A = this chain, B = another copy of it.
Amino acid sequence: MSDVVKKFAPLFEPKSIAFVGASSNPLKWGFQIPFNLIEYGYDGNVYPVNPHESELFNLKVYKSISAIPEKPIDLAVAALPAEMTLGVVDECARAGAKALIVITAGFSELGGEGARAEAEMARIARQSGMLVVGPNCMGVVSPYPRSLYCEMPAVKPEAGSIAMASQSGNVGATIMRLAMDFRLGVSRCISTGNEAALHMEDYIEYFGEDARTNVVAAYIEGVDDGRRFLNVTREASRKKPVVILKVGRTAAGKRAAKSHTGALGGEREIFHGACNQAGVIEVADAEELFDTVAAFARQPLPRGRRVAIVSEGGGWGVLAADACAEFGLEVVDLPDDVLAQLDEFLPAWWSRSNPVDLVGGLVPRGLVRSAEILLACDKIDGVIALGVGFLARRAAEYRRRTAAGKGSGLFDAPVYEKFAEAAIARDVENSKALVKLMDQYQKPMVIAADTISTVHVDENEALFALMDDGMLIYRTPRRAARAYARLVERHDFLTAIGAR
């Protein structure tokens, strides 16, 4: 285990947590954070601390951190008024806590007295060797190995391989919510806050060495030490993809960042240059960040930019072709032998070109059969597959109407159920076959579908079969192509540095 990994263990894998400022008032963070921690199954020891309470969450409450019998505590979390915070930081250090998260806001982002208090916090951290996260942050998520969900928002993504460091708690929460919704697994998520002591650079360095993490994501308003940032991202991105959403790209954004966490954004061009040199993947939006890390978490890297598109519908194919070209992918001419193989089961009047247009699902298992032929071709580096789960969505829609008493009764329920089950089974089988092909050929297979429902009670089992295997369903062909292009970008970087 490297020194960095060892150093961060008390923060990301704590065996005990003291919560200073624990409260019985459900409207306070001092209630909500320990509530989430326990509700989401943290299986280390939890010690609430508050001189005015005696029992909380069925746990004994301690008067102070030093009154806790277990010593030393791995991780302390503090959520108290700003003016009480510095005293608590000092007390935690004296009690030998190995790490401390300061949730409380009202420090350097305000300047003046707040900035001075934050500097003092940093001094205590340096002197004591205690890891200090924040202040002005939301907490930590770290499913391994103890189901640690110690955050202000109620978010519980499953365990997986994506790590996120965010200079905004709520952007971090956005990514965690997306991960929950799309069943994508997370290794770590840290809200870095004002970074009095620990900086973005430290977390990226740790993620780079953390064995649980395969993909590194970050939301950045500004970095403290540009040279160190370049070094750690360069080092990390040799081993795993590093995807960064950098804000403050405009004057308005820069001003907003300054008043948010006191970050000084620096010049866009310098940051961009550093990212480029380090092989960092830059994105412009939270959704794009998610789309991108999801691709890296599950897709094999392509060996080049030659892509084949196969689509259940013509328009989606055209949208994908446009997007591929715009994102620098080559919508490759299909070789004669590929055309000949597709001719065998596609109708005589099929388009005979890329995208392969399956003309509305007329061909049984058309997507799977086409995908296999395309993946097997050595002139094609990967596939974008469009349109899965139509039958399952139709079945879910019909079930929902029937359950709500809105059905026409054209089918009676048992007859329909039989039909629905067969249709869903077929869809699920096709979904699984696609992923299997991806794994077999070790080429990317990025899938998009509009059959993923957003707000309805829509159990689209064909999509869930994909999601349960770690696949993200992209909502549009454009988003699929954009994510795919990032895989190529990574391939190119690794090739350029001789690592592939």
**Which segment of A69-77, A84-92, A125-133, A449-457 sits at the interface?**
A449-457
User: Closest chain B residue to A251 by CB distance?
Assistant: B325
Q: Are B182 and A454 in contact (CB under 8 A)?
A: yes
Bound complex: CA of A168 vs CA of B312, how far in Å?
12
Bound complex: CA of A476 vs CA of B290, how far in Å?
12
A455 contact set on B, CB distance < 8 A: 181-183, 452-454, 458, 460, 463-464, 467
A314 CB to nearest chain B CB (Å)? 4
Give the contacts of A241-285 with B (CB-CB under 8 A): 247-253, 255-257, 259-261, 284-285
Q: Are B322 and A408 in contact (CB under 8 A)?
A: no
Q: Are B255 and A353 in contact (CB under 8 A)?
A: yes
A427 at the interface (CB under 8 A from B): no
A326 contact set on B, CB distance < 8 A: 249-250
Q: Are A456 and B313 in contact (CB under 8 A)?
A: no
A380 CB to nearest chain B CB (Å)? 14
A144 at the interface (CB under 8 A from B): no
Give the contacts of A186-243 with B (CB-CB under 8 A): 219, 221
Q: Are B256 and A318 in contact (CB under 8 A)?
A: yes
Residue-wise interface mask of A (308-320) relative to B, using a CB-CB cutoff of 8 A (1 in contact, 0 not): 0100111111111
A257 contact set on B, CB distance < 8 A: 318
A109 contact set on B, CB distance < 8 A: 349, 351
Bound complex: CA of A286 vs CA of B318, how far in Å?
12
A118 at the interface (CB under 8 A from B): no
A180 contact set on B, CB distance < 8 A: 456
A419 at the interface (CB under 8 A from B): yes
Q: Are A57 and B250 in contact (CB under 8 A)?
A: no
Bound complex: CA of A221 vs CA of B349, how far in Å?
20
A161 contact set on B, CB distance < 8 A: none
**Which segment of A4-12, A14-22, A170-178 sits at the interface?**
A170-178
Q: Are A247 and B318 in contact (CB under 8 A)?
A: yes
Known: A152-B360, A317-B260. A450 touches B252 (CB 8 A): no
Bound complex: CA of A466 vs CA of B24, how far in Å?
32
Give the contacts of A318-340 with B (CB-CB under 8 A): 318-326, 331
Q: Are A321 and B255 in contact (CB under 8 A)?
A: yes
A489 at the interface (CB under 8 A from B): no
**Which segment of A35-43, A60-68, A490-498 sits at the interface?**
A35-43
Q: Are A452 and B454 in contact (CB under 8 A)?
A: yes
Q: Are B287 and A475 in contact (CB under 8 A)?
A: yes
A154 contact set on B, CB distance < 8 A: 393-394, 397-398
A326 CB to nearest chain B CB (Å)? 6
A219 contact set on B, CB distance < 8 A: 315
A110 at the interface (CB under 8 A from B): yes
A105 at the interface (CB under 8 A from B): yes
A410 at the interface (CB under 8 A from B): yes
Q: Are A319 and B171 in contact (CB under 8 A)?
A: yes
Give the contacts of A20-70 with B (CB-CB under 8 A): 26, 35, 38-39, 41, 57-58
Q: Are B359 and A259 in contact (CB under 8 A)?
A: no
A98 at the interface (CB under 8 A from B): no
Indicate which residue in B39, B309, B353 contacts A408 across the interface (CB closer than 8 Å): B39
Indicate which residue in B174, B324, B407 contacts A39 across the interface (CB closer than 8 Å): B407
Q: Are A313 and B170 in contact (CB under 8 A)?
A: yes
A13 contact set on B, CB distance < 8 A: none
Chain A residues close to B by CB (< 8 Å): 26, 35, 38-39, 41, 57-58, 105-106, 109-110, 114, 152-154, 166-174, 177-178, 180-183, 219, 221, 247-253, 255-257, 259-261, 284-287, 309, 312-326, 331, 349, 351-355, 357, 359-360, 387, 390, 393-394, 397-398, 401, 407-408, 410, 419, 450-458, 460, 463-464, 467, 475-479
A41-B408, A255-B353, A457-B457 are known contacts; what are 4 more A-B pairs with Cβ within 8 Å? A105-B360, A106-B349, A183-B455, A285-B319
